[in-house]
Amino acid sequence: MTGETKPLTYRIDLGAPLDLRAYELQDGYAAVRDALKNMPPQEVTRLVKDANLRGRGGAGFPTGVKWSLVPMDPTARRAKYLVCNADEMEPGSFKDRLLMEGVPHQLVEAMIVSAYAIQATRGYIFLRGEYTLAAERLEYAIREAKAAGYLGEHILDSPWSYELSVHTGAGRYICGEETALLNSLEGRRANPRFKPPFPQIAGLWGKPTVVNNVETLCNVPHIVLRGVDWFKALSRGKSKDAGTKLYGVSGRVKRPGCWELPFGTPAREILDEHGGGMREGLKLKCWLPGGASTDFLMPEHLDLAMDFETIAKAGSRLGTGLITVIDETQGIIAVLRNLEEFFARESCGWCTPCRDGLPWSVKLLSALERGEGRPEDIETLERLTHALGPGRTFCAHAPGAVEPLQSALRYLRPEFEAGVCRARATAGSLSA
Amino acid sequence: MTVAEVNQGGRAPASEAGREGDVGYVLHPEDRAAIECEMRHYEDSRATSIAALKLIQKRHGWVPDGAIPEIARLLGIAPSDLEGVATFYSLIFRRPVGRHVIKICDSVACFLTGAAQVQEAFARELRIGLGDTTGDRRFTLLPICCLGACDKGPALMIDEALLPNVAPEDVRTLLERYP
């Protein structure tokens, strides 16, 4: 494994991650030295934009475009923030933990180069509270980086000063929503904020703020060091998207895991070659391409390239890119009940459709699961997928929650119908 | 007790109230110093709310009622604001919990690989349900959302440690490691 083909993971050691010196011997902090010495900040942003780096947290927004909205007027000498979204909590996603536990210095370096691009004065790694090992390793890496002069006042004798710290959370999935994350970081309840203004203009304490996912940021030093052409070539012409992606698979497969592969690798290759295929005797029923809030896809979709555009065209979302497989022995209604219970529990309660609609879907799915559903329940679930859809709620939580539900209704309707109580179905038709 | 009640600010039952001092709670000097140190990382001291609550919880296992106004005073915010924060976050406990908190992942990947059976094994061994604490105050059993260990499911945490690939038959020996 080399940095040429697997830049994000080639230095990973989960047992004992590289310390500063060992990391430096493997190109570590070379991007910081290069950028601070040879590039104006806007040049770093231009590289990231030209490389077509898109957000790896689930939404796929172009990172360079996000950065270019930050005010760069040098006379406006006020605080600016870079926040790393390390609140990995999307069910089925387990990639950022790997990066933070396996090569913590990479994220620290990424937080320095990226902060330099937007001339941030301070950075925070918003880390979920449960990732205790990642917290310990990141804090150690930050102390080492500070002692070596990569953090603090006048970094590498440049005019730019920057501090970085780890901020750990205390639960709640909604903290991963970028404006809810900012409220949480400010010590408030994690309710999302209204947009606009966008965080790049008025974010943390009203100051310009960029929020990026762990995996997204970790790409930045490599783009600075190896260049745009190299980054674009990583996806080997398989995809319009550039670079590598941490893909993975979980569920009842032979070898569940997470691997760095060229962007646009087909789902079948991830499942069969890397994941070893389904466990003995099990057949694939359907799969979530990138977390609990993505639409189900079917076995016939397995040859699709795992990139933003292709998966969107098939009616789903790439999301975090970590696949969850459901096998034929597992009832889709029970799986959906589990998914919607999660979303209902994690709703922040701020807006009514989400707060009341999600528990309602759980109630209906539970009845169908017990075989006690009413004939009209399926229609009600269908209505809920619209009532909780994009534009009907304050943030993307509920629209994400109904994605697996709407696609299951489309592909696996007979399983819903099987949950309708026969006696009730008959009574319904008599009264009608 | 329901799961929600563990963190949602219900008062401790009469037998438990006052154990850690409802009235006249005094912040331990170490906690006060640690909170003040944390405050230097932010432009507004309110940002230390969660860190402060976690420090107090580390000392007592939970956040006693009397600590809320004391922390709030230190941060310069209203106690009701801090209580709103404390009750929002699922890992801040506003009720006493056991010496060891077992957090079982019940999200989709672990659900698919047998989390329910593991949860049943804990419930059977401990004779409690989710959200409950054993009579000897040794264990509290809670659900938790995806632990980012989906390739090692069913996964759970006991206190600060992640335990991957847990089978129902491992549960009894596992519990023995936590006196």
pLDDT digit string (tens) for chain A, length 432 residues: 788 999 999 999 999 999 999 999 999 999 999 999 999 999 999 999 999 999 999 999 999 999 999 999 877 668 999 999 999 999 999 999 999 999 999 999 999 999 999 999 999 999 999 999 999 999 999 999 999 999 999 999 999 999 999 999 999 999 999 999 999 999 999 999 999 999 999 999 999 999 999 999 999 999 999 999 999 999 977 799 999 999 999 999 999 999 999 999 999 999 999 999 999 999 999 999 999 999 999 999 999 999 999 999 999 999 999 999 999 999 999 999 999 999 999 999 999 999 999 999 999 999 999 999 999 999 999 999 999 999 999 999 999 999 999 999 999 999 999 999 876 666 555 544
Which of B88, B108, B128 is the last residue before a domain boundary? B88
SS (H, E, C) chain B: CCHHHHHCCCCCCCCCCCCCCCCCCCCCHHHHHHHHHHHCCCCCHHHHHHHHHHHHHHHHCCCCCCHHHHHHHHHCCCHHHHHHHHHHCCCCCCCCCCCEEEEEECCHHHHHCCHHHHHHHHHHHHCCCCCCECCCCCEEEEEECCCCCHHHCCCEEECCEEECCCCHHHHHHHHHCCC
pLDDT attached to residue A275: 98
Task: Indicate the residue type of A159.
Answer: P
In a domain, B70, yes or no: yes
Whether residues B121 and B167 fall in one domain: yes
Q: Beta strands B156-158 and B161-163: pairing type?
A: antiparallel
B88 neighbors A172 (Cβ within 8 angstroms): yes
A92 neighbors A250 (Cβ within 8 angstroms): yes
In a domain, B125, yes or no: yes
Q: What is the secondary structure of A217-264 as a DSSP string?
A: HHHHHHHHHH-HHHHHHTTTTS-SS-SEEEEEEESSBSS-EEEEEETT
pLDDT attached to residue A3: 86
Whether residues B136 and B79 fall in one domain: no
Nearest Cα residue in chain A from B107: A91
What is the distance in angstroms between the CA of the first residue and the CA of the last residue of chain A?
67
pLDDT attached to residue B6: 62
Whether residues B117 and B167 fall in one domain: yes
A19 to A10, A29, A148, A172: CA distances (angstroms):
15, 12, 12, 32
Contact assignment for B146 to A90 by CB distance below 8 Å: yes
Whether residues B151 and B79 fall in one domain: no
pTM above 0.90, yes or no: yes
Whether residues B60 and B114 fall in one domain: no
Specify the CATH class of A332-424 in words: mainly alpha
Contact assignment for B107 to A330 by CB distance below 8 Å: no
Closest by Cβ to B145, choosing from A132, A173, A325: A173
Q: How far is CA B42 from the centre of its chain?
A: 25
Whether residues B64 and B105 fall in one domain: no
| B contact test, residue of A130, A214, A346, A365 with most B CBs within 10 A | A130
Tell me the residues of B at the A interface, defined by beta carbons under 8 Å apart: 41, 43-44, 46-51, 53-54, 75, 77, 84-85, 88-92, 103, 106-109, 111-113, 144-153, 157, 160-162
pLDDT bracket for residue B3 (50, 70, 90): low
In a domain, B94, yes or no: no
Chain A nearest CA to B86, separation (Å): 9
CB pairs under 8 A between A and B: 141
B44 CB-near residues (< 8 Å, 6+ apart): A186, A187, A205
CATH of the domain at B152: 3.40.30.10
B139 token code pair = 């264990």
Whether residues B119 and B79 fall in one domain: no
Whether residues B104 and B171 fall in one domain: yes
- Contact list in A for residue B84 (CB cut-off 8 A) is 189
Chain A nearest CA to B107, separation (Å): 6
- Contact list in B for residue A189 (CB cut-off 8 A) is 84-85, 88
Nearest Cα residue in chain B from A256: B151
B76 neighbors B42 (Cβ within 8 angstroms): no
Q: Is A65 exposed, middle or buried (CB count within 10 Å of its CB: 0-12, 13-18, 19+)?
A: middle
Residue A123 phi, psi (nearest 5): -125, 150
Query: Domain containing B82: what range?
Result: 3-88
Which of B88, B122, B142 is the last residue before a domain boundary? B88
Residue A167 CA to residue A124 CA, distance in Å, equals 6
Please state which architecture CATH assigns to domain A20-233: 3-Layer(aba) Sandwich (3.40)
pLDDT(B7) > 70: no
In a domain, B82, yes or no: yes
Whether residues B163 and B107 fall in one domain: yes
Q: Can you give the residue ranges of every domain in chain A?
A: 20-233, 244-327, 332-424
Contact assignment for A170 to B54 by CB distance below 8 Å: yes
Q: What is the secondary structure of A270-328 as a DSSP string?
A: IIIIIT-SBPTT--EEEEESSSTTS--B-GGGTTSB-SHHHHHHTTS--TTSEEEEEET
A224 token code pair = 């600075």
Contact assignment for A250 to B157 by CB distance below 8 Å: no
Chain B nearest CA to A420, separation (Å): 24
Contact assignment for A129 to B54 by CB distance below 8 Å: yes
Among the ranges given (A166-175, A383-392, B17-26, B125-134), the one the predictor scored with the smallest mean pLDDT: B17-26
Whether residues B68 and B110 fall in one domain: no
ipTM of the complex: 0.93
CATH of the domain at B62: 1.10.10
pLDDT attached to residue B14: 42
In a domain, B95, yes or no: no
Peptide bond into A196 cis (omega under 30): yes
- Contact list in B for residue A335 (CB cut-off 8 A) is 108, 111-112
- Contact list in B for residue A79 (CB cut-off 8 A) is 43
In a domain, B12, yes or no: yes
Whether residues B127 and B156 fall in one domain: yes
In a domain, B43, yes or no: yes
Closest by Cβ to A330, choosing from B91, B92, B112: B112
Which of B58, B88, B118 is the last residue before a domain boundary? B88
pLDDT attached to residue A207: 96
Residue A13: CB atoms within 10 Å:
11
Fill in the DSSP letter of residue A82: E
Residue A38 CA to residue A50 CA, distance in Å, equals 18
A188 neighbors A194 (Cβ within 8 angstroms): no
Residue A167 CA to residue B51 CA, distance in Å, equals 8
Residue A322 CA to residue A261 CA, distance in Å, equals 12
A410 token code pair = 């489309």
Q: How many domains does chain B have?
A: 2
A75 token code pair = 């006379």
Contact assignment for A94 to B148 by CB distance below 8 Å: yes
Residue A38 CA to residue A44 CA, distance in Å, equals 10
A244-327 in CATH: which number? 3.10.20.600
